[in-house]
Structure formats: C-alpha cells, structure tokens
Structure 1
C-alpha cells in the first residue's frame, strides 16, 4: 500500500486510520484507535465498539478531526473490486470485518464479492420458476443451500438473532436431494420441497475446488448422520451467544460445520455465492 498525503487524493478502496474518542478499543500499533475504508467518494465506513455493542457507521472523510493516515492499494483494479464488495453486500459489522480481514490476507477473495445480497420479494410466479430452474441448473454436489422462509416467524427470529439474511442450511447431494437437520432430526429429502416462492434460497460453493472423491466423502459423512435427533440444545446455546454478541464457534479451534449457524458460513469467507432467489 502507498500512503496518500492529502484527503483530496483519497479514492474509494483506500484504508483510513484515525482517532475515534468514542471507540472503546485501545490504540493499535499504528497509534490510531480506528480503521475504516472509503467505500464511496469521500465516505468512510467503520465499526465503533461501545460498552454494549459494536455499531457500523459512516462518516464524511472531511469531518474526521485530528491526525489520520490514508493508504491506497497500488493496483486500481483491486481497489475497485474491494469497493464493490463494501457496496453490493448488505453491510453490517461482521461483513465489514470479513472484508477488512481479506484486504490484509488475500485480495483475490474480492474476485467473487457478492455474499450477502438484498432479497427482494417475489411476486411473479413465472419469474420464480425461471430463477428456480437457473439455480437448480447451477447446483453441484456439496453446495450449500442457505434458506429463509418468509412465512415463518421462527425463520425471521433466527436470521435476526444471527445477524444475517438466512435461517436454515441444507447440503446438496448431487442426486436431486438435500440433507438437512429439521425438527424431526437429520433427513435427506427431495430438493423440490423448496420449490416454493415463499423461500429465498442462496447457493454457496466452497472456494477451494473439491475433487469428486472429496465431494463423495462429504456426502457420505452427511448421510451417516441421517436419523440423528435435532440439536435443540446446540441451537439454544448458539442463540445465547448471538444475543450477547459472543464469538461464534467458527473461529474457536477446529471448524465444525455442524455447530455453526447459517450465516456463519457466509461470514467465514470460505464459501462464495453462486446463485440466489
């Protein structure tokens, strides 16, 4: 990254370090207490930690008081991809954290930037069928189907507590069926159970290419769990963690897809969005 000498030179995609007196995080190694990104011309997006919660905020770059440092990527195309990520996704604290993490780690992550799309109400049945057929044609074995049932209060509560847009997850077997955990336990059933316009569905695919053998092993392992009871205690525990803003299971030791919530798959950054309804 190259340091920018004046705010007039700052372009979208630039990183901004500054002091935020209301932020309860101690100053970083940079000497500043806050880091943000210019996601639109002259507008800085950042997260402030208060006593009770973390809050996503936007501020005019010109309104930041005190010393600041601005850095831009040398590659303008990469800056455009990063900026797009922060503008096309539903942005919240966890999505902001994900984007900032991959700016440091691997900017190729932003080649597939859409992860948390805005879900529009489907009113035309023909439009739904068209989107369903497109979604179905793009499915591959072990793709994840993240789902939101617009007719269910429970689904609304789950996605709200989980700070995302999805309330349920299923895995595609490649045989026209999905495996999932429902109230009666772990089951495998036809994909067609979700062919209904009340469902919003997102197809997510693991970013690392899987071999046919690896995919088959994952499907086999999932099928071993069929018949097991639904993990209500795990669900309640995860819900408690979410309500009190504790860390998710995702980054506590080994990754265990059986102990995380639907939106954790998105915020992990390990999957990318292939198609959605």
Structure 2
C-alpha cells in the first residue's frame, strides 16, 4: 500500500494501467495541498482523502498521519514517549504499530490503516487498553520500545473536565467487564474488512482505521 507523487508528463513511463478520476464535487485544492505537505505523502492520508471524496464529506478537518518510516533508537523513543506523556490529556487516544509484529502487519493490511492497536489515556499517567490476553492498565514506560510507532490523538471537539472523566470512567468500566479481545473476534473483523464476510460488531469493536477515517481526531504528537 504505497503512494507517490509524479508529474503528469511522466505518466507514460509507468508500466501499469493508469486511471484518472474526477470527483463530482469541487474541493479546496489549497487545503489538500497543505494536508499532503503536512502528512509527508503518507499513503494512508491519501486513502483518507479518497474515502472522504467517495463519501461526499471531505472537509477541512481530515485526520493527520505521521511519517510512515523514520529512524528510531532506544534513546529517541524514550525521549519521544516522555514528551508524549507530558502533552497528553485524560481521554486522549494513543495508537500503536509494532514494526516487528506479524499481527500488526496483518492488521495494517486488512484494516487498511496505519495503526494496529488503540488505547485510552487515563489519569495520573495510566494507560488503558484491551489486548487479546485481557485488559491492561499500565504506564507510559511500556511504550518506550523502539519497534513501536506511537501516535497521540485528541478529539477535535474539546472536552470539558466532566466529559473527560466520563470517558475515562466508561473505559475503566469496559475493562472491568472484559476478559480479553479474543483472536476469534480479531479474525472475524479482519475477514469482514478484507473479504466483506458479514459479522455483527459490537459498539466497542471499532478498528483503528475506523477511528482514523472518521476524521474526529487530531494528531498531537508521535514517537
């Protein structure tokens, strides 16, 4: 899943069929130019724009994506996560992708999204998430792994302190009732996304890509 820029005069050199489409609606091309510049030609940013065009709901608040590839080491990751911890607010969402994980690669491919996992920021530096092994509450230090790409996102609509508390308490309530995000559910959702095999998902079964392409989040920082 890649994207790249090419001048129209160089299209004949591409040895694959080239199809050109024009959306029915007119869009602010200056905004799209700025969006692609800010998103480092990230292919998932391109996919987000195309999905929005197809749904006829593109606006000036598309979700931003960090670079797909950038050099990392243990010191840089530790520094980046510490900065992320300082910038975080309760009820923020953190998205991750493990460069060394086959499961992460499969989820990225089937979900057509940059991230393979999502959790919520709680109070006093606590992170809440649900794994296949069960619910987990931890701190920021467990994200200080160089193989992890991490993005901190915040809802575009500002939350009051009461709303933040409600969201965090709701997440904690879900965690207290769940035994884990079983592989059966992961596979069924993957089959639905990849091959359109029907599966009735629950209210808590949104995938990372569903959340990204809903364009309700803004990128705060990444590591």
TM norm structure 1: 0.63
1:203, distance to aligned residue in structure 2 (A): 0.8
Partner of 1:29: none
Give the aligned CA root-mean-square deviation in angstroms.
3.3
Instruction: Give unmatched runs, 5+ long, in structure 2.
Output: 10-16
1:183, distance to aligned residue in structure 2 (A): 2.6
For residues 69 and 201 of structure 1, the distance between their equivalents in structure 2, rounded to whole angstroms, comes to 33
The 10-residue stretch of structure 1 (228-237 or 133-142) with the greater mean CA deviation from structure 2: 228-237
1:214, distance to aligned residue in structure 2 (A): 0.7
Query: In structure 2, the residue corresponding to 1:272 is in which secondary structure?
Result: strand
Structure 1 residues 206 and 247 mapped into 2: Cα distance closer, same or farther (>3 Å)? farther
| 1:270 lines up with 2:222 in the alignment | no
Match of 1:118 among 63, 68, 72: 68
Partner of 2:116: 167
Number of residue pairs the alignment of both structures matches: 207
1:265, distance to aligned residue in structure 2 (A): 1.1
Partner of 1:158: 107
For residues 191 and 69 of structure 2, the distance between their equivalents in structure 1, rounded to whole angstroms, comes to 26
1:21-100 aligned within 5 A: 78-86=28-36, 88=39, 89-91=41-43, 94-100=47-53
1:172, distance to aligned residue in structure 2 (A): 0.4
Could you list the runs of 4 or more consecutive aligned residues of structure 1 that deviate by over 4 angstroms after TM superposition? Answer: 39-43, 57-60, 68-73, 245-249
For residues 170 and 24 of structure 2, the distance between their equivalents in structure 1, rounded to whole angstroms, comes to 48
For residues 180 and 59 of structure 2, the distance between their equivalents in structure 1, rounded to whole angstroms, comes to 38
Highest relative contact order (Cα 8 Å, sep 6+), 1 or 2? Answer: 2
Match of 2:128 among 179, 182, 199: 179
Query: In structure 2, the residue corresponding to 1:108 is in which secondary structure?
Result: coil
Contact 1:179 1:187 (8 Å CA) reproduced: yes
1:126, distance to aligned residue in structure 2 (A): 3.0
Partner of 1:242: 193
1:192-231 aligned within 5 A: 192-227=141-176, 228-231=178-181
For residues 242 and 116 of structure 1, the distance between their equivalents in structure 2, rounded to whole angstroms, comes to 23
Structure 1 residues 83 and 41 mapped into 2: Cα distance closer, same or farther (>3 Å)? farther
1:241-260 aligned within 5 A: 241-245=192-196, 256=203, 258-260=204-206
Bigger Rg, structure 1 or 2: 1
For residues 199 and 217 of structure 2, the distance between their equivalents in structure 1, rounded to whole angstroms, comes to 17
Contact 2:126 2:137 (8 Å CA) reproduced: yes
> Which has more strand, going by share of residues?
1
1:247, distance to aligned residue in structure 2 (A): 8.9
